């Protein structure tokens, strides 16, 4: 008979050893079966954590404030940052619709005019802010409608799981990563805009979170696959570079945030953000040197 290593065995409920389960308490991370699951603002908690005990042996000093799976403190409004991001996108959209030149001032442009002329506009001309502002800029109703709908549905879940600071860092770095890859691989005279890079980062983050909590990943994977098909469909004006850049960054950051060892959680999480940020800066510098 083949022996199964401990790491490959299906976990069993710590209170009912005869019951296999794929769900863990979001605070103490012990496996819990459906009978022991107590619904919380994020995931489920075990009876001991809800009662303020740590080992089930009796009352102890009340545990620290409830934490999300990434270690953030659970707050009342788990959609605050998502709401703010939606308002910012809408505000920029209104400004763009009122004056089209605003969109050109904020969109991602590598260099204009193109070589052999000396660029006076674009990232290569020192307008690095375009890497970020382009991720908040939309020109068409369908574009902002799709992105903000996705932000509300997916972003709300990711924010609740990661907490406000980690969620905002992941969103912004995913958007910057998408802009950076577009800057690297797109014709420098092409204007790119939209929050799609950040949205794809949220897609990747949600997939990581579902996998970490042993939830059904099929719905989000199907939705992601459909979006990727549209992204690479011939004849579209979609920036696949921004989508892929955001997806890779969001997936990597979410993995680091939810799999970081508890004793080194902050170091790993902030280190991952710093690493992604460093890659963005180096890639931008290299592309700028090439264009100038």
- Least confidently predicted of 43-47, 112-116, 186-190, 232-236: 232-236
Computed over every residue of the chain, the mean pLDDT equals 86
The full set of domains in the chain, from first to last, is: 8-66 (no CATH), 80-291 (1.20.1540.10)
Active site residue 196: yes
Looking at residue 18, what DSSP letter applies?
T
Which is catalytic among the residues 134, 150, 196, 239? 196
Q: Is the pLDDT of residue 62 over 50?
A: no
The confidence score (pLDDT) of residue 230 equals 79
Q: Is the pLDDT of residue 130 over 90?
A: yes
Q: Is the pLDDT of residue 1 over 50?
A: no
CA distances from 13 to 17, 19, 25, 158 (A): 5, 6, 10, 26
Active site residue 243: yes
pLDDT (tens digit, 9 = 90+) per residue, 193-205? 999 999 999 999 9
CA atoms within a 13 Å half-sphere pointing along the CA-CB vector of 176:
20
Closest CA to 205 of 142, 151, 241: 151
Q: Is the pLDDT of residue 119 over 80?
A: no
Q: Is the pLDDT of residue 64 over 60?
A: no
Phi and psi angles of residue 57, each rounded to the nearest 5 degrees, phi first:
-90, -5
Q: Residue 34 — pLDDT band, cuts 50, 70, 90?
A: confident
Q: Mention every residue, 6+ apart, whose C-beta is less than 8 A from residue 50.
A: 38, 40
Which is catalytic among the residues 138, 150, 239, 243? 243
Higher-confidence residue of 127 and 74: namely 127
| Residue whose structure tokens are 């019951």 | 19
Q: Is the pLDDT of residue 77 over 80?
A: yes
């Amino acid at each position: 008979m083949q022996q199964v290593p401990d790491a490959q065995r299906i976990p069993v409920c710590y209170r009912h050893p005869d019951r296999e389960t794929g769900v863990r308490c979001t605070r103490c991370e012990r496996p819990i079966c459906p009978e022991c699951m107590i619904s919380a603002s994020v995931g489920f908690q075990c009876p001991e954590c809800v009662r303020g005990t740590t080992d089930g042996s009796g009352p102890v000093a009340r545990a620290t404030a409830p934490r999300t799976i990434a270690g953030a403190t659970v707050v009342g409004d788990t959609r605050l940052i998502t709401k703010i991001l939606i308002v910012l996108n809408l505000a920029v959209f209104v400004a763009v619709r009122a004056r089209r030149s605003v969109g050109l001032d904020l969109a991602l442009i590598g260099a204009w005019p193109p070589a052999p002329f000396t660029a006076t506009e674009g990232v290569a001309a020192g307008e690095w802010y375009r890497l970020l502002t382009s991720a908040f800029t939309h020109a068409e109703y369908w574009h902002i409608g799709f992105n903000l709908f996705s932000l509300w549905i997916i972003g709300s879940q990711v924010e609740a799981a990661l907490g406000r600071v980690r969620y905002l860092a992941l969103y912004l770095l995913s958007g910057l990563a998408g802009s950076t890859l577009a800057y690297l691989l797109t014709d420098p005279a092409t204007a790119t805009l939209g929050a799609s890079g950040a949205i794809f980062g949220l897609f990747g983050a949600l997939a990581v979170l579902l996998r970490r909590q042993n939830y059904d990943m099929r719905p989000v994977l199907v939705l992601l696959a459909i979006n990727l098909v549209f992204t690479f469909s011939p004849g579209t004006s979609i920036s696949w570079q921004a989508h892929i850049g955001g997806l890779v960054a969001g997936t990597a950051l979410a993995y680091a945030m939810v799999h970081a060892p508890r004793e080194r959680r902050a170091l790993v999480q902030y280190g991952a953000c710093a690493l992604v940020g460093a890659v963005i800066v180096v890639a931008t510098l290299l592309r700028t040197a090439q264009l100038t």
